[in-house]
Amino acid sequence: MILRPTFAVLEREVLKLLRQRGRLLSSMVRPLLWLLVIGAGLGAVKAAHGEPAYQTFLVPGVLGMTLLFGGMLAALSTVNDRESGVMRMLVIAPIAHYWIVLAKALAATCAALLQAALLLVILALTGYLSAQVSVPLLVAGLIGTALASASLGMLVAAFSPTLDNYATLMNLVIFPVFFLSGSLYPVQQLPYMLRLVASLNPYTYGVDLLKHAAVAGATATHDPDFALTLDFAVLIGFSVVALGIAAARFSRDNANEPLIHRLANSPRA
Amino acid sequence: MSELAIRADRLTKRYGETLAVDGVDLAIPQGQFFGLLGPNGAGKTSTIHMLSTLIRPTSGEAAVMGHSVRTEPLAVRRNIGVVFQEAALDRTLSVAENLRFAGALNDLPRREVLRRSAELLRLFGLSERRDHVAGALSGGMRRALDIARGVIHQPRLLFLDEPTIGLDVPNRRAIWRHIARLRNELGITVLLTTHYLEEAVDCDEVAFLNQGRIVRRGNPRALIEQLGAYIVEVETPRPKDLAEQLTPRLGPALVEGDRLQFCCNREPAELAALQAELAVTAQAVHWRRPNLNDVFLWVNQQDASQKRAA
């Protein structure tokens, strides 16, 4: 059966996250910096122009940020697993190799959700979560965004033979995805080119779903940019396609040959 | 006839221009302790990776425990354990957690994993380290844990790719003791590769691999016996002249720099006489019992001379 191996991969991911205090702490500090520092700063500028509270607008954005960073970093750890021994354990197990991709994506989704849940508690305690939050939509938005982020991470991981530079990854993949979305500003108010790119970014629809859940109806600028059905369709569709490509890439005949070949010719041998 | 643990027919692997494995045939009965020997780059690891379904053969076919490596990879992997040259462990997890993870990947119930972990840790002397992080273990203990990881699901066939590489002598001996215990207590079939040829002398059968082909196979002790009673080594500044002079008496010589080797069945008394006779022309004359390294060297020598003759 496939359940026990899948659960083992999930368990390992969560265990690792809980042990890496620094990773967990930074996944809380990053969104709170945006919300409490940048949000307050820009909020003050906007308030001077008579615009509504920017910090409230940022709540779905920072929730999305936690999911995006958490999901992508966990998924991208697959590349490091290849370098460490873990991938050897996985490829020799009696499970189909495409399933490794799906199990890792599920594990990354769980890791992201765990971090977002922690942030939600902090937001609720500090009063940043309004009372009119729609719980079913919030749950759907969190899961959908986490899954899409994890899938994006798996897609990048499937095409990265090595991951030697954390900064490159942050600057070339994660930050662009974050900035080119509706996390920090309403997509409809963006200049045409940016609006176009943001509309092509699947993560945009995750944040939009979170806006439906958390801030819809507060003021006009806080309103979501897209319809609920479109958000769902894009998140699910993107995840399915990305994971399909990643799984196909990973389970093709020679997916592990670079690894295997390197092992066979390792200088230690 | 009982089912073979491994059967390979003309198994071949090509990487671009390089022919890593060149038409290897194998028939390994269940319960056998089989050694695949040869220098680095001979194709040992590629052969193991094809048999364990991690890479696909370029051509040829192989069956492991009766399952085709091409069409039934999951069935093959269910029946085998593999210990790679580099550890398949999560260095950040503890000893016990690594075994639990490996057990769960093989779909073992938690209770069963705990029982077998305790047993294996005791067998390998790791019981007191069960809560230590794998990355903090010494090289020898990490290799022992990796072997435990490879057999947690009680495979019927275990592949060991250079199990003692990079270890010091005491640890190498410990690893061999562990492997012997696994064979005795679990009756497991073992296919091992090593380039420390002398370590393979306890195998039931060995095959020498060179440049992707099997150049000799047989029982290691019988192969050594066939070679001759003694290896005579002569150190001399004029190896070529001396080789010509001695070949009629001792057979063909193997020349390595300023050292000559002969394998022969002479009595020690005759060799002592030879030693006295050569005292002037040679710097040193030794004789000793042959080992598997000699078998390999002489097989290659014969190959080379056959090629020259052809």
Q: Looking at residues A43-47, what average pLDDT do you find?
A: 80
pLDDT tens, residue by residue, B107-164: 999 999 999 999 999 988 899 999 999 999 999 999 999 999 999 999 999 999 999 8
Q: Could you tell me if B138 and B173 lie in one domain?
A: yes
Return all residues near A54 (Cβ < 8 A) that are at least 6 apart: A39, A42, A43, A46, A47
**pLDDT class of B269 with cuts at 50, 70, 90:** confident
Identify the pLDDT of residue A10: 95
Task: List pLDDT tens digits, range A50-89.
Answer: 666 788 888 999 999 999 999 999 998 888 887 778 888 9
Contacts of B108 in chain A (CB under 8 A): 4
Give B276's pLDDT tier (boundaries 50, 70, 90). Answer: confident
Q: Are residues B236 and B152 in the same domain?
A: no
- Same domain (yes/no): B16, B133: yes
Domain tally for chain B? Answer: 2
Confidence of residue A266 (pLDDT cuts 50, 70, 90): very low
Beta pairing partners, B21:
B13
CATH number at residue B9: 3.40.50.300
**A&B contacts, CB < 8 Å:** 100
- The verdict on B236 and B92 lying in the same domain is no
Q: Which one of A19, A93, A269 has the shortest CB-CB distance to B105?
A: A93
Give the DSSP H/E element, type plus range, for residue B159: strand B157-161
pLDDT tens for each residue of B25-57: 999 999 999 999 988 888 999 999 999 998 899
Where among B218, B250, B267 does a domain terminate? B218
pLDDT of residue A157: 87
Q: Residue B213 in contact with residue B25, Cβ under 8 Å?
A: no
**Which residues in chain A have their CB less than 8 angstroms from residue B149's CB?**
89
| Chain B residues touching A254 at Cβ < 8 A | 55-56
What does pTM read for this prediction?
0.87
Confidence of residue B265 (pLDDT cuts 50, 70, 90): confident
| Residues B160, B232 share a domain | no
Sign of CA dihedral A87, A92, A94, A95: positive
Residues B44 and B186 in one domain: yes
B106 and B212 fall within a common domain: yes
Name residues whose C-beta falls within 8 Å of residue B41's C-beta, 6 or more positions apart in sequence: A265
How confident is the model over A153-208, as pLDDT tens digits? 999 888 877 766 667 777 788 999 999 998 988 888 889 999 999 999 999 999 99
Average predicted confidence (pLDDT) for chain B? 90
B204 and B67 in a single domain? The answer is yes
Other beta carbons within 10 Å of B154: 12
Show the CA angle centred on residue B161, arms to residues B191 and A250, nearest 5°: 110
CB contact under 8 A, A269 and B40: yes
**Domain with B303 in it:** 224-309
Closest chain A residue by Cα to residue B85: A263
10 Å Cβ neighbour count for A58? Answer: 25
Residue A166 is predicted with a pLDDT of 66
Specify the length of chain A in residues: 269
Q: At what angle do helices A228-251 and A97-125 cross, to 10 degrees?
A: 140
The residues facing B286 across adjacent strands are B233
Last residue in a domain, options B218, B243, B261: B218
Q: Assess whether B15 and B157 both reside in one domain.
A: yes
What's the rounded mean pLDDT across residues A9-29?
91
Same domain, B196 and B137: yes
- Residue B160, chain A, CB below 8 Å: the answer is no
CATH number for position B288: 3.30.70
Among B190, B218, B246, residue at a domain's last position: B218
CA distance B174 to chain A (A): 20
Please indicate, yes or no, whether residues B113 and B211 belong to a single structural domain of this protein.
yes
Give dist(CA B229, CA A207) in Å, integer: 80
Do B91 and B233 lie in one domain? The reply is no
Nearest to A94 among B56, B91, B106 (CB): B106
